[in-house]
Homo-oligomer: A and B are copies of this chain.
């Protein structure tokens, strides 16, 4: 299968590209390297040193004989995107190429506008590009579990059957996103749903939970293939951040009570979910939604799990409850369905103490690279 990975230089995109390449697919990457530029803007870095994409794919070729073609450009530039689509003629287009940090989108008005325009226009261009040049291509779009917000009823996978005043319909699940970034993903979802219905495109929206972990079998082959790892208050996500805080002896930073409950998955499951979606494409005209996570934890749960492993490893660490910089419920009902990917064959890598320990051991090697002033949250929702 010919597969484009847009955002293939990023934390999820890079291991996905390698995994699909290893599985025998013909993989091409589109990236404009904006994730690296945001590190420069924020005076931040990946905990792990990462090579340029050019060097990464050269090493991959050297180790496996497999070629990954790279297109350096921006989905917001339609002429560029058109050329790539015509050149590659992909069977599947995996779209990771968005600004994906909620705090980044909440820095100020300009970052909010940038995030929404970048993400929405990029996705509109992909929609029109597929319609115009490769109408049979299956769009696999990364959404987020954060699109749903935290309703007081169980969260379904994209749609919900509603009975109302003696009538019934299956309707898009109501969305209550909690940041300008999460809003951009909701906008994308509505746009893609319309495109499927109106233009006959086929798309899978993967509402992904919070990803943890670092290595996949492929990125572990050589240090030149190492994946990026974020720990800062803007791009770092819970669990990875807690483990890195442990490594440098920083208290684990839980926002508020820590009762915020989220869906989580291992990066090893992310890459497999993309494969499953690609192998089982949506029908023409279908906007299919999968919830892509494997387990639910509260943030405090996670911190306590990390704390326990840390103590066993002789690295005791405390938990700091910071005033929550976000506007969110610190305790709430949360139960979300996630059966569709498992029905297609996903076998989850669950979060055991050994998994935490493995990540911790890896992270310790790089702890001197941590920039301490980036650890605490600096962006306030209000």
Contact = CB atoms under 8 A, between A and B. Distances in A.
Interface of A: 78, 109, 112-113, 116-117, 120-121, 124-125, 128, 132, 151-154, 160, 162-165, 167-169, 171-180, 183, 186-187, 190-191, 193-194, 197-199, 327, 333, 381-382
Contacts of A151: 169, 171
A153 B167 contact: yes
A183 B187 CA distance: 8
Contacts of A124: 109, 112-113, 116
A78 B109 contact: yes
Contacts of A187: 116, 120, 183, 186-187, 190
Nearest to A170: B152
Contact of A171 (B176, B197, B381): B176
Given A109-B78, A109-B125, A124-B109, A190 B175 contact: yes
B174 A153 contact: no
Given A162-B162, A198-B327, 13 more contacts: A109-B124, A113-B121, A113-B125, A116-B124, A116-B191, A152-B169, A153-B169, A153-B171, A172-B174, A172-B176, A174-B174, A178-B194, A183-B194
21 contacts: A109-B125, A109-B132, A113-B125, A116-B187, A117-B117, A120-B120, A153-B162, A153-B165, A153-B167, A160-B164, A171-B176, A172-B175, A172-B176, A175-B190, A176-B193, A177-B194, A179-B194, A183-B194, A187-B190, A198-B381, A198-B382
Contacts of A116: 120-121, 124, 187, 191
Contacts of A153: 162-165, 167-169, 171
Q: Which one of A164, A197, A382 has the greatest number of beta carbons of chain B within 10 Å?
A: A164
B121 A117 contact: yes
Counting from the closest, the 5 A-B pairs by CB-CB distance are A152-B169, A171-B174, A109-B128, A153-B164, A187-B187
A199 B164 CA distance: 32
Contacts of A186: 187, 190
B165 A154 contact: yes
A197 to B, nearest CB: 7
Contacts of A175: 172, 190
B167 A154 contact: yes
Given A128-B112, A169-B153, A171-B174, A382 B199 contact: yes
A193 B169 CA distance: 24
A327 B197 CA distance: 8
A317 B183 CA distance: 48
A128 B132 CA distance: 36
Contacts of A191: 116, 180, 183
Nearest to A116: B120
Contacts of A174: 160, 162, 171-174
A331 B175 CA distance: 28
B152 A168 contact: yes
Contacts of A168: 152-153
A29 to B, nearest CB: 24
